[in-house]
């Protein structure tokens, strides 16, 4: 069942665990994420990044995606998630990751997203509050949950880039929650976007603890979110490089640190890079081991892109030769079917492990199911 994000986050607060939020960029990825959560009877959060909507709208140069591309892509992602979630026994939320402006957020909501993030972290505090408040009003009137961001993470993810971090000020976080009424807040506390988080990444859990303690003192209800939290499994990176890839200096956030912060106020942990790596490893392995696949005109366009770009591990970079399958889930032949199966296996490999590690197993039944209409009414009673 497809529901707003808020009830899933409320369960993490009540039962003291973290919920992984996993980015998807293709119909088969959405299918795989939902299926692996069903296997573990866990709630599921699927995320489409702002530019992923552009990609799913057919814009292969997604960094230049227009609002029109995002409108089309948001509907494609939402239609795919609904297809697999409507009869699912677990609660599923579809969340926009790093919405860059009001138009992008509106495109996602109108397309069928049940939750959105507006990223005003690069703006001065007052402007961030103003933009986020505008989004909250539009979203909450429709029962859609909202996540904001305060503080700047270093690293690169789509159009989000920063050479350095600015840690979240706990007092600013309290002001932000009060002024915007967001359901969740992404904080900067030492995580980083991308596959290279430094040789010895370390999160500052005391920031999360301080924010949460201040929230409890002020009676503020809300969930803290950890962005840039991929673990970047070394074994997958090593396997990619052994297959002709060239990923250097890759390092993630240690899993034990993520588990620790899940008990320090962090209720949602975003993961994207790990999925990209596992999918890339699987597809490289297939082409390297199969001469017939490398010569198959139905799919070898994928390999030509990968072979000429050994540093690339974002599937959006090499999947354009099968865009109809990416966007709509159509599988025209057995060659493309093999590729989609490899993508699904990669997704399930990393997502399944983190579902277990984060403590999500069996938590589907702990979520109070609330529809968009029911949440809209609840927000009205709370004063939007």
Give the residue ranges of DSSP H helices in the chain: 6-15, 27-39, 50-56, 67-85, 102-111, 125-140, 170-180, 205-218, 234-242, 255-261, 273-289, 291-294, 300-308, 315-318, 323-328, 334-357, 372-382
Q: What is the CA radius of gyration of the chain?
A: 20
**Tokens 């057995």 belong to residue:** 334
Asked whether the beta carbons of 55 and 25 are under 8 A apart, the reply is yes
- The C-alpha atoms of residue 295 and residue 89 are separated, in whole angstroms, by 42
**Tokens 């201040």 belong to residue:** 214
Reduce the DSSP state of residue 161 to 3 states and report it.
strand
Asked whether the beta carbons of 36 and 355 are under 8 A apart, the reply is yes
User: What are the residue numbers of the active site?
Assistant: 97
> DSSP characters for 64-75?
G--HHHHHHHHH
- Sign of torsion over alpha carbons 210, 149, 157, 322: positive
- The C-alpha atoms of residue 291 and residue 249 are separated, in whole angstroms, by 31
Asked whether the beta carbons of 114 and 94 are under 8 A apart, the reply is yes
Dig out the tokens for 221 from the structure.
């209800």
**Torsions phi, psi for 20 (to 5 deg):** -70, 140
Distance, C-alpha 81 to centroid of its chain: 14
């Amino acid at each position: 069942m497809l529901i707003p994000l808020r009830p899933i986050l409320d369960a993490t607060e009540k039962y003291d665990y973290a919920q992984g939020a996993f980015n998807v960029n293709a119909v088969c990825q959405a299918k795989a994420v939902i299926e692996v959560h069903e296997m573990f009877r866990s709630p599921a959060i699927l995320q489409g990044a702002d530019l992923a909507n552009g990609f799913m709208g057919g814009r292969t140069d997604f960094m230049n995606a227009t609002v029109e591309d995002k409108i089309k892509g948001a509907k494609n992602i939402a239609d795919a998630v609904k297809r697999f979630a409507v009869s699912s026994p677990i609660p599923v939320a579809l969340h926009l990751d790093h919405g860059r402006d009001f138009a992008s957020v509106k495109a996602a909501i109108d397309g069928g997203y049940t939750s959105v993030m507006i990223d005003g972290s690069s703006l001065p505090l007052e402007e961030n509050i103003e933009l986020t408040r505008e989004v909250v009003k539009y979203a909450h009137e429709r029962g859609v949950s909202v996540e904001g961001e305060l503080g700047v993470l270093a690293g690169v993810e789509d159009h989000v880039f920063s050479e350095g971090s600015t840690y979240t000020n706990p007092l600013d976080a309290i002001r932000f929650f009060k002024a915007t009424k967001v359901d969740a807040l992404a904080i900067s506390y030492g995580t980083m976007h991308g596959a290279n988080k430094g040789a010895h990444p370390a999160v500052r859990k005391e920031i999360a603890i301080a924010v949460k303690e201040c929230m409890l003192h002020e009676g503020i209800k809300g969930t803290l979110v950890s962005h840039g939290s991929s673990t970047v499994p070394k074994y997958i990176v090593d396997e990619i490089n052994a297959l002709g890839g060239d990923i250097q200096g890759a390092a993630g956030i240690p899993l034990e640190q993520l588990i620790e912060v899940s008990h320090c106020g962090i209720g949602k942990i975003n993961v994207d890079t790990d999925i990209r790596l596992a999918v890339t490893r699987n597809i490289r392995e297939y082409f390297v081991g199969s001469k017939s696949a490398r010569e198959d005109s139905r799919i070898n366009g994928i390999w030509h892109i990968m072979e000429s770009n050994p540093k690339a591990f974002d599937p959006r970079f090499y999947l354009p030769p099968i865009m109809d399958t990416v966007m709509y889930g159509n599988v025209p032949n057995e060659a493309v079917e093999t590729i989609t199966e490899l993508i699904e296996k990669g997704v399930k490999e990393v997502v399944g492990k983190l579902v277990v590690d984060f403590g999500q197993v069996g938590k589907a039944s702990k979520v109070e199911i609330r529809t968009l209409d029911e949440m809209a009414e609840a927000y009205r009673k709370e004063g939007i």
